[in-house]
Amino acid sequence: MEPILCANCFEFFPPSPRHKDQTHCMEPECRRAKKAAWKRHKMDTDPKFKEDQKLINKKNGLKIILVIGKSTARTIQRKLKEIEHFKQSETGVELKNGKIKPTTKQK
């Protein structure tokens, strides 16, 4: 197959025989650029995707999507509470209503 010019770094690369419409090489920077362009396009054309992204990014930049069963979700919630409790005890702060507040520790 003929080499293709990458749309990001403008270097020639050997195309994958499995991806006929390949436009970017496999360098990490080019892969990130392709993914960012896809996401921009998706945000512009798909209102449901845009709404979902707003919900995902809403709280403290947390970008986790959980599509799992109830029992697994409960387990994860318990572990997150344990981690949050550990962080609070180590740093002397607590989280209330999504805001960090200093705690008064008693000795």
Q: pLDDT higher for 76 or 37? A: 37
Does residue 71 have a pLDDT over 70? Answer: no
Average of per-residue pLDDT across 50-65: 63
Average of per-residue pLDDT across 42-56: 85
Report yes or no: 3 and 14 within 8 Å, Cβ to Cβ: yes
Does residue 44 have a pLDDT over 80? Answer: yes
What 8-state DSSP symbol labels residue 86? Answer: H
**Structure confidence at residue 96 (pLDDT):** 61
Does residue 30 have a pLDDT over 80? Answer: yes
Asked which of 9-13, 14-18, 66-70 is least confident by mean pLDDT, the reply is 66-70
φ and ψ at residue 96, rounded to 5 degrees = -130, 120
User: How far is the C-alpha of 26 from the C-alpha of 18, rounded, in Å?
Assistant: 14
Does residue 22 have a pLDDT over 50? Answer: yes
